[in-house]
Structure 1
Amino acid sequence: MNRCCISVFLLLLSVGIVTQSAGPVPSISLEHLDPTLPPAILAGQTPKCSVLLLQQEFADTAGSLPAAANYTHPRECPFPWTRVILELSVSASDLQRDRIAAVWIDGSEILRTTTPLPMAPGAFWTVRKDVSRYAAILRRLGDPSYTAARGRGIVSMMLENSNSPARLPGVYSANVSLHFYRGAATTTIATATAAAHPNTRSLYHEPADIILPISNPTGYLGTTGFWFRINNETHIQTSPIALPMNAYRAVLEIFVSYHGDDEFWYTNPLRTSYLRQSPFSNLSSPRTNGGFRQLYATIDGQFVGGHIPFPVIYPRSINPFFWSPVASIGAFDMPSYDLDITPFLGLLLDGRTHEIGLGVRDALPYWLVSGNLHVWVDLWSDAVRAGLVHYYVPPVKVNRNAEWRNQDGQSEINAEGLWQFTGWVSSSRGNISTAVRQKIKFKSQIEVQNRGAVTQVEVNNKERMMVEMSIGHQTLGRAQMLLETPLQIQTTSVSAAGGSIFLKARLFHQLLESVVLSQGQAMTTSTLTDRQDAEGSALMRGDAPVWGSASTRSSYKYRDDNTCYLRAVNTAGGVVMLDTTSPSCAADA
């Protein structure tokens, strides 16, 4: 029996789940996989240069300062680059829990991720993300006068880990690197940014000229890193910003993760007792306000857009054995959410400091948020003029219904929202109007039967978003996005010896995303279907798995006008049974 199998066997033996007469424990896969995006770079293409940004071991780091290192840009690899790839390689020395982690450069978050749940010593995984979008940050780090200033040119990583020699002795070892590429772009599909969220970046060919962090300014010194913490729906975290007077476009990117009482917000039941309270935010008990959440942003207190978060399922959730050794959708590269706030530039281009706020509707403690404000500037103008001409934000219609008798009952939440913004910016590019239109339709149904032993959860969010740029009656560009994210979970629990719970679960989760991009007479379309089906059993003691088995089927299909990419990954019993890819849709015919 190899070392990893011995460790699993000893774990089960220590909690009394197996005896020494048990049969051999099957070997498991030590490499954890993200069964989604294709490689960011084609095989055989090598980087012009690579830089190791940070090397760190995260042992007992809960409550500690973020790990930090000074960044020195390689002289042999100056701007411009075709593509920049961030690579995060992590290994776990032993058993450990899943943890949230993030990477920042000068306070701007460029990656948020979860670790898997290492079930054997030696587990390892790699996250690769195209970070070409953050070229403005990387370019300024190549300026010696900038990096010489105090507190600049610093790469930070946060991974709060807690060691328990008896139960969770694992130490996470992380390497953060950047790979810079030159030459022709690889393929259309490699530039696809579908990542479990709607975005408008495909409308803008060039990265922003300036990126301003919307994050905790004391991140270098505090023990909470650069994350803002949201504790309830009235808690809005703000960051001061001052835009250059010649800014002509702005997109706010928001990172978010959820924890504590809202770690499983998408499965929160709506209790009858909650409906009787006024206002709703004054909860008598946690996790009773249902599964509707809205991430939103404000400028000086005024709502400027929002999204329903994609329910990324953490590796310890539902059945931990679903996610060994395959990650759930969006877990390794957690989605960020784009809000085009160009229509509001008229409020920002007055030379004064303004407050960008981030909040979560119906939030329970706690959510971790941060953002980046991507700004494009007109190099041919010292100042531009702008104005907001249309602002339509009716209240989101939310209908809540719940019927409960003791532990059993059912609840339903339906929500619909629509908002529209239009603004103009007069620059050397002309007097261009930007119109943003967004519509959401959300539904959550939860039913509990058999004295709380059987739970069924169905959640679905549909979202349409349109961003259009025009001069007069002439449309310059339009991006239209459609998103649908159905999630179904069925669980059955039975009490077992020693206070343990035997849990059977089934899961269906899917991301459907389509984008239509029009520019002049040209039009392109792309579609993404990312799906996971899982079923299995687990013996849980508290929130820790002590035994289990599961199978997970993951399928990923991306298609645009020129290319197609298919990937299928099937796992069972902790082993990868199938992992196939195809650059042709013929395999899906």
Structure 2
Amino acid sequence: MSMLTGVILLASALLGTAPAHAAPAPATDASVGTGDTPSRPADVPAEFGTDWHDPLTAAPPVIKPATRSCQVVVAEAQFRDFTPYRGTYTPPQGCGDHWSKVVLRLDGKVKGRQFDRLGYLHVGGVEIFRTSTPEPSPDGIEWSVEKDVTRYSDTLRGAHDVEMLIGNVVDDTYTGVIDVKVTLTFFTGRPAATPDRVLTLADGATLTTPRNSERIVAEVYATGSGGGCEEYWYLTVPAEAPYSCHADDGPYREVQIAIDGQLAGIATPFPHVWTGGWSNPFLWYVIPGPRAFDIKPVEYDLTPFAGLLNDGRPHRVEVSVVGVPEGRSGWSTPVNVLVWQDEKKAVVGGKVVRREAGGFTDSTTYTPGAEHRVDAEGGHRLTVAGYVDTSHGRVTTTITRTLAATFAHRWTDGETVDGLDATWRDDETVTVDGRGSARTTRTHRTYTMNGTTTLGAGDRLRTVLTLGDRADAVTTRNGRRTAWSRLDDTYTGDATFTVNVPRDQRHAVGTTSERYRLHGSSGCHDRELTTVQGVLTEDRSGC
């Protein structure tokens, strides 16, 4: 959070406004786009009013089978504070216990004044959903989120305790009560291929797998949050730089998982921007940033360690975030472990045959001046390989993951101009070699953030921002492509409002858009949304 952000938040609380969690900083006191008032349809107001379009995204909907279904309400609560909702879950009656798909749906509503909030849903201790919330209009908004949770079928086949929390504060200033209902819909039909077991860490620290595990995947819902500096980890600078968020090694972050003290996996955390981010809630009132409502876990294929984990003993599993200053809180890293078992063997043996970590870099350079500069880069490489002796022969899994990130951060004294241009890359190759020809899957992930916030004349705050979430994946066997996909989710926004005034005097304007393109061997989705002053002006779909 920049100094500029802190000033805005304080003024917001005193004056009854609610910009929420913020971040860096644009360039002139302008309306939208070029700085001139844009031409607009007659139904688009000259500035934001007291209501706007309900939140929505361009992401594809969950495809649902045309089969009989059963629905269960998992949680229904109004969140006013940090008291979790607790209830019980019972599997549905009349739809069997092996489903073709299971779809989670959250329906929410809130009105008044409120920050963005982070939430989770646990069933039997398994985190099946993590989300953040939109910020409301005075008149109120409603939104919904759907997620395919079929992979958690093992958990959902039994009765369990439920815990859900969207931590919130309701008082005379922040009046928004977050009202949500979560349902699960179970579809009959040909059962989906799912993990045989879904495990959590005992006491948050140890894992004991079934002794016949032949594939093991850990997922970590890693988020930096809480309103402090780790919510804006990509903006942190060395201690000697005059900026409001410091970290000893600068902005590079890396999420690591270790087994019994040995590094087992590395990953780049996604640079989430919540709906109060970048000092400007008008960027997010209708279209949230990528992944904001459906937070995806980081995945680690731990199959090379299956032989070690299958010895019947508990093993210590630890997740850490590289680059976080000692003693600083702000990261949440809950772990689920998905296990596929060999039903024809009681014990699947194996061994780690290769583990090479290298190429770790984390450098930050501060250059003082009228425009302060921090240039940083970081990266890491890890290769692990191991085999398991299954009922269908020896299977060797080799995983190579390479991370790289660059940051160019520029700001002026007082942080009245604050900008960042950052790129993260997370490349992964997984080769499975067993009976028949080897299968290789290569995934190239790229995340981008480019924006500036400026506090100009008349206390006009302008933010211009582009976010990118991209991934290419291809699976080959015998040199032939058997599956592929290409994702390009791009958000752009430009919004201006007056700070340090009551809410009805902000005179806010803004244009936001999102284009979500997903092409591949499984089909195609291409949707583009545009809003002006909170009015949806464009909604195009087609492939």
TM-score, normalization by structure 2:
0.85
1:545 Cα deviation after fit? 10
For the pair 1:96 / 2:92, whether they are aligned, the reply is no
Q: Does 1:509 align with 2:502?
A: no
Specify the alignment match of 2:311 in structure 1.
350
Offset from partner CA, 1:260-297 (integer Å, 9 cap, x none): 221111222345469xxxxxxxx997457432111111
Contact 1:532 1:552 in 2 (8 A): yes
CA change 1:563–1:244 in 2 (3 A) is: closer
Aligned partners of 1:258 and 1:451: how far apart in 2? 25
2:22 maps to which residue? none
- Supply the distance in 2 between the matched residues of 1:16 and 1:337 (Cα, whole angstroms): 35
Letter in 2 for 1:459: A
2:72 matched residue in structure 1 = 51
2:368 to 396, 404, 408: 404
CA contact (8 A) 1:343 1:435 kept: yes
Which among 203, 207, 211 is matched to residue 241 of structure 1?
207
- What is the one-letter code of the residue matched to 2:432? M
Q: Conserved in 1, the CA contact under 8 Å of 2:77 and 2:85?
A: yes
| Separation of aligned partners in 2, 1:53 and 1:422 | 40
* Match runs of 1:24-103 below 5 Å: 26=49, 28-41=51-64, 45=66, 48-59=69-80, 61-62=81-82, 64=83, 66-103=84-121
Contact 1:272 1:403 in 2 (8 A): no
Shift in CA distance, 492/349, structure 1 to aligned 2, threshold 3 Å = same
Contact 2:416 2:455 in 1 (8 A): yes
Q: Determine helix, strand or coil for the equivalent of 2:86.
A: strand
Determine helix, strand or coil for the equivalent of 2:333: strand
Determine the structure 2 residue equivalent to 1:171. 177
What SS does the corresponding residue of 2:115 show, helix, strand or coil? coil
Pair 285,133 (structure 1): closer, same or farther in 2 beyond 3 Å:
closer
CA contact (8 A) 1:518 1:524 kept: yes
Within-5 A mapping of 1:393-542: 393-394=357-358, 396-405=360-369, 408-449=371-412, 452-471=415-434, 475-494=437-456, 501-519=459-477, 523-541=482-500
Q: Does the CA contact (< 8 Å) of 1:505 and 1:536 recur in 2?
A: yes
Could you tell me which residue of structure 2 aligns to residue 213 of structure 1?
Answer: 200
* Contact 2:51–2:139 under 8 Å retained in 1: no
Residue 160 of structure 1: aligned partner:
167
TM-score w.r.t. structure 1 length?
Answer: 0.79
Residue 326 in structure 1 maps to residue 297 in structure 2: no
Q: 1:12·1:546 contact (CA, 8 Å) conserved in 2?
A: no
Structure 1: distance between partners of 2:340 and 2:209: 10
In 2 relative to 1, CA 388–289 (structure 1 residues): closer, same or farther, beyond 3 Å? closer
Identity of aligned residues (%): 24
* Residue 570 of structure 1: aligned partner: 530
Paired residue type of 1:526:
S
Is the Cα contact below 8 Å between 2:517 and 2:525 reproduced in 1? yes
Q: Summarize deviations over 1:325-376 as a string: whole Å, max 9, x none.
A: 1111000001211000111123212211111101101124211110101011
Distance verdict in 2 for CA 1:578–1:46, change over 3 Å:
farther
> Matches of residues 205-284 of structure 1 in structure 2 within 5 Å?
206-214=193-201, 217=203, 239-259=205-225, 260-272=228-240
Give me the whole-angstrom Cα distance separating, in 2, the residues matched to 1:566 and 1:320: 26
User: For 1:288 and 1:446, how far apart are their aligned partners in 2?
Assistant: 16
CA deviations 1:229-263 (Å, max 9, x no partner) are xxxxxxxxx51111111111100000021122211
| Structure 1 contact 34–332 (Cα < 8 Å) conserved | no
Change in Cα spacing, 1:449 to 1:562, as seen in structure 2 (3 Å) is: same
Counterparts of 2:503 and 2:409 in 1: how far apart (Å)? 24
* 1:347 counterpart SS class: helix
Contact (CA 8 Å) 1:570, 1:578: kept in 2 or not? yes
Q: Deviations over 1:394-450 (max 9, x none)?
A: 251222211124x74101111222110000000112100000011112101111236
Paired letter, 2:291: G
Conservation of the 8 A alpha-carbon contact between 1:343 and 1:387: yes
- Length, aligned pairs only: 498
CA distance in 2, matches of 1:396, 1:549: 44
In 1, Cα distance between the equivalents of 2:145 and 2:313?
Answer: 39
Deviations 1:113-162 (A, max 9, x none): 000011223211101000011111112x1xxxxx4xxxxx1121111111
* Alpha-carbon distance between aligned partners in 2 of 1:310 and 1:13, rounded to the nearest angstrom: 33
Q: 1:38 touches 1:565 (CA, 8 Å); kept in 2? A: no
CA distance in 2, matches of 1:563, 1:299: 38
3-state SS in 2 of match to 1:264: helix
Note the 1:292-331 alignment, pairs <5 A.
Answer: 292-318=252-278, 319-331=280-292
User: What runs of 5+ residues in structure 2 fail to find an aligned partner?
Assistant: 1-11, 19-45
Inter-CA distance 116–25: structure 2 relative to 1 (3 Å threshold): closer
- For residue 546 of structure 1, report the CA deviation from its aligned partner: 7.0
Q: Tell me what 1:229 maps to.
A: none
Match of 2:517 in 1: 557
Decide whether the 8 Å contact of 2:237 with 2:245 is kept in 1.
Answer: no
Deviation of 1:539 (Å): 2.9
Report the Cα distance in structure 1 between the residues aligned to 2:16 and 2:131, rounded to whole angstroms: 30
Taking the aligned partners of 1:125 and 1:208, their CA distance within structure 2 comes to 31
Find the aligned partners of 1:543 and 1:353 in 2 and give their Cα distance.
57
Runs (4+) off by over 4 Å: 11-17, 519-522, 541-546
- Name the residue aligned to 2:143: 125
1:551 CA displacement: 0.8
Asked if the contact 1:254/1:372 (under 8 Å) is kept, the reply is yes
Amino acid in the other structure paired with 2:56: L
Deviation at 1:557, TM superposition (A): 0.6
* Corresponding letter in the other structure for 2:177: V
Task: For CA contacts below 8 A with separation 6 or more, give which structure has more relative contact order.
Answer: 2
CA distance in 1, matches of 2:164, 2:320: 23
Cα RMSD over matched residues? 2.9
Q: The residue matched to 2:265 in structure 1 has which SS?
A: strand
Shift of 1:522: 5.7
Aligned to 1:28, what secondary structure does the other structure show?
coil
Contact 2:239 2:246 (C-alpha < 8 Å) held by counterparts: no
**Does the 8 A contact of 2:48 with 2:509 survive in 1?**
no
Measure the CA separation in 2 of the matches of 1:158 and 1:542.
32
C-alpha contact 2:287 2:513 (8 A) present in aligned 1: no
Distance of 1:172 and 1:209 partners within structure 2: 35
Q: Is the 8 A contact 2:384 2:398 kept in 1?
A: yes
Give the superposition deviation at 1:47: 5.1
